[in-house]
Amino acid sequence: MLDAHNRQAIIDAIESGIDGLVRDLYSDNTLGPSMTHEPDITSRLGHMLEEGLNGRQAGDYTFLVISMSIPDRGPNSLEKITGADIVISLSLDGIDGFDKSIFVQAKYDRNLKRHELLDACQRMENVVGERRGAYVWVYTSEGARVLSPRQVENMTSNRIEEAQSYTMRSFAGRILDCYAGSHIWGIPQRSDRRKVLQQRLKEVHARTAIDLHLARSSSIRQ
């Protein structure tokens, strides 16, 4: 398991990167139509994470980030097939390391419909092969909230405020502690990560694919 210093530094970077972007891009519709729609946030999230996190140091590690997006090509494409808007691969170098991925269905907080989320979770689970690889991210004015398939099943309304969920901070901690993420879909660290990510994006028909590789900073400098 990661030591406390490195664990906290990585969690801080992931939380500030994702939640900061969601807060910046979130569009309140109380005064009229949304200026930024959910697909806009999702497609821009990967590019902005690559700009904001790539090369950033977190403790003894350095983020190496790759992102790719493809446009929606019609009513039978993209997340409608697998349930996923975003596929995120995560690799951590070293003795405490891992290679895994998560599939994400993304929604605005005001557009939640439990039956649709249940369907998306089921389709993602069918592709991933295990529950801990499928999640729902809910975009709110304060950042992203994360729902597991079980938490979606336990929802009693369509309001994120009334559902049990994870903050991005706690979710990042669960990934590092190996409670979240599918090893089945991990990208091996010595792979051509850009090529594999491109293949993964086409294979699962997601809108956006993001690769977060946490490399030991000492190995990068050598």
- pLDDT of 78 reads 47
Closest CA to 147 of 116, 185, 186: 116
> 171 CB contacts (<8 Å, ≥6 apart)?
135, 146, 180
pLDDT at position 221:
54
Q: What is the pLDDT, as a whole number, of residue 29?
A: 55
Specify the residue for token string 């850009």.
194
What are the distances in angstroms from CA 209 to CA 11, 31, 67? 20, 33, 6
With beta carbons less than 8 A apart as the criterion, state whether 105 and 216 touch. no
pLDDT at 32: 40
Looking at residue 31, its pLDDT comes to 44
What is the structure's pLDDT at 41? Answer: 87
- pLDDT one digit per residue (tens) for the chain, 222 residues: 789 999 999 999 999 999 999 999 897 754 444 456 777 888 889 999 999 999 999 999 999 999 998 765 554 444 457 889 999 999 999 888 999 999 999 999 999 999 999 999 999 999 999 999 999 999 999 999 999 999 999 999 999 999 999 999 999 999 999 899 999 999 988 889 999 999 988 888 888 999 999 999 876 654
Domain ranges of the chain: 4-217
pTM (two decimals): 0.90
DSSP H helices, the chain, are: 4-25, 38-53, 79-82, 114-128, 149-153, 168-176, 193-204, 217-221
For residues 132 and 113, the answer to whether their CB atoms sit within 8 Å is no
CB 23 within 8 A of CB 145: no
pLDDT at site 218: 79
Query: Which pLDDT belongs to residue 33?
Result: 40
pLDDT confidence of residue 203: 86
